[in-house]
Amino acid sequence: MYKRHEIGKYGEEQATKYLCSKEYKIIERNFECKQGEIDIIALDKKELVFVEVKTRTDNMYGEPAEAVTNLKIKHLQNTIEYYLYVRNLENENVRIDVIEVYFIKNNVKINHIKKAIE
Task: Note the pLDDT of residue 6.
Answer: 84
Reported as a pLDDT band with limits 50, 70 and 90, residue 105 is: confident
Reported as a single tens digit per residue, the pLDDT across 51-95 is 999 998 887 777 888 888 889 999 999 999 999 999 999 999 999
Reported as a single tens digit per residue, the pLDDT across 11-36 is 999 999 999 999 999 999 999 999 99
Whether the Cβ atoms of residue 19 and residue 42 lie closer than 8 Å to each other: yes
Instruction: Please state whether 48 falls in left (phi above 0), alpha (psi between -120 and 50) or beta.
Output: beta
Task: Note the pLDDT of residue 65.
Answer: 85
Task: Note the pLDDT of residue 80.
Answer: 97
pTM for this entry? 0.92
**Looking at domain 3-117, does it have CATH number 3.40.1350.10?**
yes
By three-state DSSP, how is residue 59 classified?
A: coil
For residue 1, pLDDT over 80 is answered with no
Task: Note the pLDDT of residue 30.
Answer: 96
Neighbouring residues of 11: CB distance < 8 A, sequence distance ≥ 6: 53, 54, 55, 101, 103
